[in-house]
Copies of this chain bind each other. A is one copy, B any other.
C-alpha cells in the first residue's frame, strides 16, 4: 500500500496496537487507544509519576539511524526517567511527527518501541501522528508507593556517589558510527554502537533502590552535565575521583584512556543511574545490583558546600566539556 493511502487511523491501528503478551486489562488500562483519551487505574496507595522526553533526528540520532533503534531509544530515554525516580513504568503515549508515512520505516520503529514496552510491561495507551520533521515525543506514566519516589534532592553530606554499569560507551558508539560507518568493524566497536542504539534503562535497579538510595538521577547528558544538578538539588558539593569512573573494556580497546574518560564524563546518552547512598546502606544497594547482574561503582562522595570537585589521581581536574545542552553552550564535540 503506497504511503499516501495510509490514513492516520489505519497507521495507529496497524503499527501501534498489536496484541502483545501483556493484556491491557491486566495493566490498569480501563480504556486504551481509540477514544479522545485513555482512562487508567493507578494501584491503590500509589502516586503517579510522569515524564516526557523527545528525540529529534539530527540532534539525538544521526540521519539514517535504523528506525528500530529510534523506536527503542524514544521509549528507553523515558523508561530511564522512571528508573531515576524508582518508579514502576506502566503506560506511555506517543507523539510521532514524520515527513511521510513509510510503512517499512513504521514497522521497524514500532517493533523497536513495542518490544521494549513489552519487556517492561508498559502499555501504549495513546498517540498522535502528524506530518513534519522527524520528532518523537514519548510521555511515560508510572507509579510509586506513596512517598517513596527517589528525588535528586535527598543526598546527605558523607553519602557515597555511585553509578551503575559503565560510562561513555554510548558516546563512543555514536562517535564511532559517525566516523566509520562503512569500515569493517570489530566486536568492541559493534558493542559500543549497540550501547548507543539500544540503551538499557535501569528500571529494576531504580525500583530496588527505593528506600535504600538517598537520591537518584539518570545520566542522559553526561556526568559533567548531570551531577551538578543533583548536587544543587541536594544543597551539597559532589567530589568525584575521575580514575574511578567505570570504563568498559570495549571503550578502552578503541581509544586512549584520556578519550575514554572524556566520553564517560561528557558524552551523555548512557542512561545509567547515579545514586547517592549513606555508607551503611551501600551493602543493600550492592546486593540489589548483584541480583540484577549490574555492576555498581563508587566514584566519589557528597560533602558540604556547592558545585562539583573533580580530581584525577589526587590532582584537581577540569573537564574539557560541560555536558549536552540543546540550546546552551556549544554541545560536546567528540572526535575519534
> What is A's interface to B at a CB cutoff of 8 Å?
3-11, 30-31, 34-42, 47-60, 81-82, 84-85, 87, 91, 93-95, 97, 100-101, 125-133, 135, 137, 139-142, 144, 146, 149, 151-153, 216-218, 229, 233, 325-329
Contact = CB atoms under 8 A, between A and B. Distances in A.
A113 to B, nearest CB: 14
B93 A52 contact: yes
Given A54-B137, A135-B132, A40 B31 contact: no
A101 B327 contact: yes
Contacts of A233: 34-35
B53 A49 contact: no
A225 B108 CA distance: 29
Contact of A141 (B36, B50, B54, B153): B50
Nearest to A11: B327
Given A48-B48, A57-B132, A58-B132, 14 more contacts: A5-B328, A34-B233, A35-B151, A36-B152, A37-B49, A37-B51, A37-B82, A37-B85, A54-B128, A56-B97, A129-B327, A132-B135, A133-B135, A141-B141
Contact of A6 (B8, B87, B327): B327
Contact of A7 (B10, B135, B328): B328
Nearest to A140: B37
Contact of A50 (B38, B51, B149, B327): B38
A56 B132 contact: yes
B51 A93 contact: yes
Contacts of A82: 37
